[in-house]
Amino acid sequence: MLRKKTIENIGPRIESALRETLHLSRFLQKRRNDVVVWLENGYYEKGIEGYIIGPGMDHFNDLDRNQYCSSYVKEEYELRIGQIDDPDENSRLIKKSIRQELSIYQDFWESVVALRILRNLVNLLTLQAYDWRLQIDKSNKSQIIREEIRDKLEGLGCDLGSIIRESYATQIRNAIAHRDFRIDENHIVLLNYQKQEYCNFRSLTLDEWEHRFALTFLLNNELLSVRAKLRKLLSKEATTWDVSVPSKQGGYRLLKLKYEPTIRRFQIQPY
């Protein structure tokens, strides 16, 4: 169960790590203002064979996942458990909260949207161009998380890489997906344990699970929050930003983006 004191202890670290990473991205981006394209989800739409800037259907579909995270907070498990004297009811609520946490954990690390955001952030930090055509291989997400996101961030000395190492484990994600776990009074027992790499956890104490979940949960929240704050900051620096968009004829063309305060996003403007 995620407790208030855990959020207070870990929250500042997550926010600081993302702020540090985004600060670096603004100076290391290969192509001018790619960070604005990153903020506004530049992507290639096969259906119309064109490049688009904006939320897109993936992001609208991802709203359900974020709403589910919000519903978890509204349950107020810690407050409710503190008001109940019945040990059996407390145990039931704790297990219910953990099952919801397991679902939120899996959803984040399975989210194509979240992984695309993190992967393209790594591109900006490693002096690569923003990848408009980036596709997340759904059969190989664990390798992408470990090798293309976590390891590269750690190589740059970014705490965000360490946060991902402390929070994400392939075995845990797989155990949740296949219901290969059991929750008892003090542990989450992982039934997919094997004596090999990526499957070597027999169980997690509830404190160990809380730490992993808190990092994941707060990373998801801060990705939304910090990106919104960066949009607002950039809008104060300039009302319009020129970004480079791939051209069908090859090379790049310029598009002008303007911050629209009513929707709190940058939108394409005609030249």
The answer on pLDDT for 172 being more than 80 is yes
Q: Which of 18, 11, 39, 33 is nearest to 153 (CA)?
A: 18
232 DSSP assignment: H
Q: How far apart are CA 97 and CA 62, in angstroms?
A: 22
**At 126, phi and psi to the nearest 5?**
-105, 25
CA atoms within 13 A on the CB side of 205: 3
CB proximity list for 59: less than 8 A, separation 6 or greater = 41, 113
Strand, helix or coil for residue 243: strand
Least confident of 52-66, 71-85, 104-118, 229-243: 52-66
In this predicted model, what pLDDT tens digit does every residue of 65-113 receive, in sequence order?
989 998 898 899 888 888 888 989 989 999 999 999 999 999 999 999 9
Between the alpha carbon of residue 8 and those of residues 15, 21, 100, 228, 254, the distances in Å are: 11, 21, 21, 21, 43
CA distance 132 to 140: 20
Tell me how long the chain is.
Answer: 271
> What pLDDT does residue 154 have?
97
Give whole-number Cα distances, 248 to 27, 31, 49, in Å: 28, 18, 9
More confident residue, 183 or 250: 183
The residue written with tokens 């600060």 in the block is 23
Residue-level pLDDT at 8: 95
Tens digits of per-residue pLDDT, 25-46? 888 888 889 999 999 999 988 8
Task: Supply the pTM of this predicted model.
Answer: 0.93
CA dist 37 and 18 (Å) reads 17
Task: Write phi, then psi, for 52 (nearest 5 degrees).
Answer: -130, 145
Q: Token pair 């055509």 is at which residue?
A: 133
pLDDT of residue 271: 56
Element (H, E) at 99: helix 87-110
The percentage of the chain sitting over the pLDDT mark of 90, rounded to a whole number, equals 69
Give the helix, strand, coil percentages of the chain, each rounded to 5: 60, 15, 25
Report how far residue 167's alpha carbon sits from residue 162's, in angstroms, rounded to the nearest whole number. 9
Q: Residue 167: what pLDDT?
A: 98
Q: What is the pLDDT of residues 175-220, one digit of tens each?
A: 999 999 999 989 999 999 998 888 899 999 999 999 999 999 999 9
Cα 271 to the center of its chain, rounded Å: 34
Per-residue pLDDT averaged across 149-172, rounded? 97
Helices (H) and strands (E) in the chain, counts: 11, 8
Q: What pLDDT does 104 receive? A: 97
> Contact 21/153 with Cβ under 8 angstroms?
yes
Instruction: State the SS3 of 31-50.
Output: CCCHHHHHHCCEEEECCCCE
